[in-house]
């Protein structure tokens, strides 16, 4: 889930905030900001947790049509934000930077694949596999960092966390006779997407707007094709369904705005722990939808949860040590 920065100076927000907490009154104000920031971030993760309910409500539309709606209406909303925040020049500049544009073309392809896979997971009654993907995603990101960026795991706890997650995936594979391909595909596409967004020279608002803009012509072309057939859910005389499909845009962009407000005001440790809230809620939603797990799959989830707990505790300890050494 990418960070959304609304202005070019957002990267200096933490430094500016730190410089203003010298007095008790300023510290109280900063604490109030942190509370609002935590509430905003919490709202984003809660929103993402319950989003399978929306996709299940529009399941009469195909996964491809839902993806097209998500792209088109998100793109229109993001263009509006670009205009409101007066980022038009920055937005246009990204199309003139060949290296940045090529990277964003690749990231747009990855996020489109990820969105399509997740929609398919929900409408095909595999919400639990979708939640599994986002549980293992942080560990997949660590592995991608090792393989592609040459990063190293320096503590045994990190290796143990990776080992537990791997064991959990093996248990899943043993329970159903094959690896959880859908979960792995979701985690890998999102992990690669995050990796590209980490190195691209564009903040998240501009980057996401460019990505959806690149996908916009394809999505519009698919709409044109759908209107030559009756194999669509949109504009078929069901006003309620039409409204729900248009809402695919704000349902995508609003939590990003909440996340943007929170990410600039709370610590990375807090955000790191909150990120497990979404897949946890999705897991419960999947069970509420009547999906079930075999005993060995439950054991696999338990191993992955244990790995995440170990990884999170180790990260918190390392961060405290780092602060103590400053």
**pLDDT single digits (tens) 227-272:** 998 889 999 999 999 999 999 999 999 988 888 778 767 776 677 6
CB 29 within 8 A of CB 259: no
At residue 1, does pLDDT exceed 70? no
188 alpha carbon, distance to own chain's centre? 12
The Cα–Cα gap between 98 and 125 comes to: 41
Considering only 147-161, 202-216, 289-303, which range has the smallest mean pLDDT?
147-161
The Cα–Cα gap between 147 and 63 comes to: 32
Question: What is the extent of the structural domain holding 271?
Answer: 10-324
More confident site: 222 or 148: 222
Q: What is the pLDDT of residues 43-91, one digit of tens each?
A: 999 999 999 999 999 999 999 999 999 999 999 999 999 999 999 999 9
- Residue 307, pLDDT score: 86
Q: What is the pLDDT of residues 238-249, one digit of tens each?
A: 999 999 999 999
Q: Is residue 172 one of the residues assigned to a domain?
A: yes
Per the structure, how many domains does the chain have? 1
For residue 117, give Cα distances in angstroms to 124, 128, 189, 207: 10, 13, 9, 21
- Residue 6, pLDDT score: 47
> Which has the closest alpha carbon to 106: 197, 183, 204?
197
Name 78's Cβ contacts closer than 8 Å, sequence gap at least 6: 205, 208, 209, 212, 253
Residue for token pair 């202005």:
7
Q: Taking the CB of residue 146, how many other CB atoms lie within 10 A of it?
A: 13
- Residue 8, pLDDT score: 43
Q: Is residue 54 one of the residues assigned to a domain?
A: yes
Q: Is residue 4 one of the residues assigned to a domain?
A: no
The Cα–Cα gap between 40 and 35 comes to: 9
Q: Is residue 197 one of the residues assigned to a domain?
A: yes
For residue 239, give Cα distances in angstroms to 1, 71, 236, 243, 244: 31, 20, 8, 6, 9
Q: What is the pLDDT of residues 112-122, one digit of tens each?
A: 999 999 999 99
Q: Is residue 114 one of the residues assigned to a domain?
A: yes
More confident site: 107 or 153: 107
Q: Taking the CB of residue 181, how many other CB atoms lie within 10 A of it?
A: 11
**What pTM value is reported for the model?**
0.82
Q: Taking the CB of residue 145, how many other CB atoms lie within 10 A of it?
A: 17
Q: Is residue 2 one of the residues assigned to a domain?
A: no
> Which has the closest alpha carbon to 134: 44, 250, 74, 49?
49
Q: Is residue 151 one of the residues assigned to a domain?
A: yes
Q: What token pair was written down for 265? A: 């005001």
Q: Dump the DSSP string for 246-310.
A: HTHHHHHHHHHHHHHHHHTTS-HHHHHHHTTHHHHHHHHHHHHTT----HHHHHHHHHHHHHHHH
Q: Is residue 94 one of the residues assigned to a domain?
A: yes
């Amino acid at each position: 889930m990418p960070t959304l920065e609304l202005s070019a100076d957002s990267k200096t927000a933490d430094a500016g905030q730190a410089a203003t907490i010298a007095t008790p009154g300023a510290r109280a104000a900063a604490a109030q900001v942190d509370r609002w920031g935590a509430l905003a971030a919490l709202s984003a993760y809660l929103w993402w947790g319950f989003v399978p309910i929306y996709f299940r409500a529009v399941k009469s539309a195909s996964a491809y049509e839902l993806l097209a709606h998500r792209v088109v209406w998100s793109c229109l909303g993001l263009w509006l934000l670009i205009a409101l925040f007066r980022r038009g020049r920055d937005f246009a500049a990204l199309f003139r930077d060949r290296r940045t544009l090529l990277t964003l073309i690749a990231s747009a392809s990855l996020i489109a694949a990820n969105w399509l896979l997740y929609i398919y997971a929900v409408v095909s009654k595999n919400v639990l596999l979708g939640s599994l993907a986002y549980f293992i995603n942080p560990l997949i990101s660590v592995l991608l960092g090792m393989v592609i960026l040459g990063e190293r795991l320096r503590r045994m706890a990190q290796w143990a966390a990776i080992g537990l997650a791997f064991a959990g995936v093996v248990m899943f594979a043993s329970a159903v006779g094959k690896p959880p391909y859908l979960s792995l595909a979701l985690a890998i596409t999102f992990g690669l997407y995050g990796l590209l967004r980490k190195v691209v020279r564009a903040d998240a608002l501009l980057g996401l707007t460019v990505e959806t803009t690149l996908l916009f012509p394809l999505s519009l072309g698919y709409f044109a094709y759908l209107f030559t057939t009756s194999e669509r859910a949109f504009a078929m005389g069901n006003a309620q369904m039409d409204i729900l499909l248009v809402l695919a845009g704000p349902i995508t962009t609003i939590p990003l705005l909440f996340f943007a407000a929170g990410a600039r005001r709370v610590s990375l440790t807090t955000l790191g722990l909150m990120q497990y809230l979404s897949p946890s809620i999705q897991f419960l939603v999947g069970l509420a939808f009547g999906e079930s797990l075999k005993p060995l799959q439950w054991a696999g989830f338990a191993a992955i949860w244990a790995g995440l707990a170990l990884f999170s505790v180790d990260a918190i300890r390392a961060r405290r040590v780092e602060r103590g050494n400053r």
